[in-house]
């Protein structure tokens, strides 16, 4: 079959590889009908995530048709059209039972490696480093899906591929970023990063009753989308300046309080302005830190006293110069984690089915799987106002 394979930084190729097989009783094989490139795939593409090996099949946002089932999967049938959570979860451990599916105890075959890195291992993920399992991803014609009896959800006929696809990751990820913050009526939510996850965080904040949403990004097309689609106010750091000036602007916009909830939807590759960005960029390229945590610093500095900093953006290793004094003295709460997709899948599917939201609004490009290398290149360079690419095998 054809699959998008990682061969190093800036090197994605469409390779011919072996078809996946059923390996465990709870597996399913899915014939992929739609798959998307995620902003976090750019961290792999840029070579920022440790634990990748040449030839790894990438992609964690995919849906398709069930073509084969393991002996223990009884809730699906061949031919079902399903959407698949990017978090691989057994559904039967302490964490899955508690709704923390991205922390599943049992789904990471390389848990021992993750424990060395992070103390404990989160769940396995599709196509996202050997630290998180080394599972083959879904930017391919076929993909093996473990624990198919608890992960994949059958898509109602009235919901199209393009409307369902983002339930795999970015819609629930943006939603969890807000839902985990105990938002109160009238709260102001500031969201750094208006890529797809940021857009869904903005949409979710509005859906969950935020008073105001402030969208922050250096790319004007993304800010336009945030304003047009969700009525967000916008802030472009290129117009405002460095970290201190952004914090000041947010303080001014909220009459001195600061945003009640600050969302870092950017993660480890943040772009900034001035000396701070230069400092982090140099340290990152010298491998002295694995992240450029500019946004995280801004979020902590800007956040209202006793407010919440929510981090859906992906980090892998270490970061420095985190303003821990602000964190402590302002009594901030940090909420973060990979997304517990299985936990949000049904309620969000209901929203889509009812027409409360049409997630396809983020799509800017539709391409063939063969064109993946160009798609990655375009998405990374933000050429042609690229925000979200959907590919069909």
Partner 1 sequence: MTSHRPIDYRGNDDSDLDSAREREKQRALALAASVGSLMVGMRRGGLSGLALGAFSGYLAYRASTGRGLKGTGRSLMQGAERTLTGHRAGPLELSAAVTIARPSEQLYDFWRDFTRLPAIMTSITAVEILADDRSRWHAETPLGGTYEWEAEIVEDVPGERIAWRSIEGSDVPQTGEIRFVPAPGGRGTQVELKLRYELPHGLLAAAPLGFVNALSREAVREDLRHFKQVMEAGEVPTAAIHTTPHEGVIR
Binding residues vs partner 1 (CB under 8 A) = 17-18, 20-26, 47-52, 57, 70-72, 88, 90-94, 97, 105-113, 116-117, 124, 129-131, 133-136, 146-147, 287-290, 316-318
Nearest residue to the partner Zn ion, using Cβ? 38
Q: Cα separation of 207 and 56, whole Å?
A: 37
Closest CA to 259 of 311, 300, 204: 300
Residue 42, interface with Zn ion (CB under 5 A)? no
Q: Is the CB of residue 146 less than 8 Å from the CB of residue 92?
A: no
User: Is residue 360 exposed (0-12), middle (13-18) or buried (19+ Cβ within 10 Å)?
Assistant: middle
Output the smallest distance, CB 100 to partner 1, in A. Answer: 13
- Choose from Zn ion, partner 1, none: what does 169 bind? Cβ within 5-8 Å by kind: Zn ion
Query: Quick one: 116 or 383, whose CB is closer to partner 1?
Result: 116
- Choose from Zn ion, partner 1, none: what does 205 bind? Cβ within 5-8 Å by kind: none
Closest CA to 299 of 191, 173, 204: 191
Q: Which of residues 78-117 bind Zn ion (CB under 5 A)?
A: 89-90, 93, 96, 104, 106
Cβ contacts of residue 207 below 8 Å, gap of 6+?
351, 356, 357
- Choose from Zn ion, partner 1, none: what does 289 bind? Cβ within 5-8 Å by kind: partner 1
Output the smallest distance, CB 221 to partner 1, in A. Answer: 30
Q: Is the CB of residue 246 less than 8 Å from the CB of residue 240?
A: yes
Output the smallest distance, CB 130 to partner 1, in A. Answer: 7
Q: Encode burial over 342-359: b for 16+ CB neighbours within 10 A, e otherwise.
A: bbbbeebbebbeeeebeb
Output the smallest distance, CB 83 to partner 1, in A. Answer: 21
Q: Cα separation of 385 and 66, whole Å?
A: 34
Output the smallest distance, CB 292 to Zn ion, in A. Answer: 19
Residues interacting with Zn ion, by CB under 5 A?
38, 40, 89-90, 93, 96, 104, 106, 169
């Amino acid at each position: 079959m054809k699959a998008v394979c990682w061969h190093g930084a800036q090197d994605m190729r469409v390779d011919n590889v072996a078809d996946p097989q059923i390996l465990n009783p709870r597996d399913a094989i899915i014939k992929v009908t739609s798959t998307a490139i995620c902003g976090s795939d750019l961290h792999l593409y840029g070579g920022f995530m440790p634990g990748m090996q040449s030839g790894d099949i990438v992609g964690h946002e995919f849906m398709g048709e069930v073509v084969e089932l393991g002996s223990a999967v009884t809730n699906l049938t061949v031919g079902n059209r399903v959407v698949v959570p990017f978090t691989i979860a057994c559904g039967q451990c302490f964490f899955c039972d508690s709704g923390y599916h991205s922390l599943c105890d049992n789904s990471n075959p390389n848990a021992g490696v993750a424990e060395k890195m992070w103390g404990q291992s989160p769940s396995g993920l599709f196509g996202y480093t050997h630290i998180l399992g080394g599972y083959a991803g879904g930017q391919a014609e076929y993909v093996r899906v473990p624990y198919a009896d608890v992960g994949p959800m059958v898509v109602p006929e009235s919901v199209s591929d393009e409307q369902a696809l983002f339930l795999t990751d970015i819609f629930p990820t943006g939603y969890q970023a807000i839902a985990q913050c105990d938002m109160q009526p009238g709260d102001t939510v500031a969201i750094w990063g208006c890529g797809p996850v940021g857009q869904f965080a903005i949409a979710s904040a509005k859906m969950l009753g935020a008073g105001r949403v402030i969208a922050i990004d250096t790319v004007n097309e993304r800010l336009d989308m945030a304003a047009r689609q969700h009525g967000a106010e916008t802030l472009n750091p290129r117009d405002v300046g460095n970290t201190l000036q952004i914090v000041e602007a947010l303080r001014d916009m909220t009459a001195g309080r600061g945003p009640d909830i600050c969302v870092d939807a950017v993660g480890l590759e943040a772009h900034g302005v001035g000396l701070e960005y230069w400092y982090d960029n140099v340290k990152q390229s010298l491998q002295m830190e694995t992240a450029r945590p500019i946004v995280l610093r801004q979020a902590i500095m800007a956040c209202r006293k006793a407010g919440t900093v929510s981090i859906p953006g992906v980090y892998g290793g270490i970061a420095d110069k985190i303003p821990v004094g602000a964190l402590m003295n302002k009594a901030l709460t940090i909420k973060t984690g990979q997304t517990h997709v299985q936990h949000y899948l049904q309620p969000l599917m209901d929203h889509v089915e009812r027409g409360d939201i049409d997630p396809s609004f983020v799509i800017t490009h539709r391409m063939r799987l063969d064109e993946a290398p160009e798609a990655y290149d375009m998405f990374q360079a933000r050429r042609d106002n690229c925000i979200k690419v959907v590919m069909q095998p």
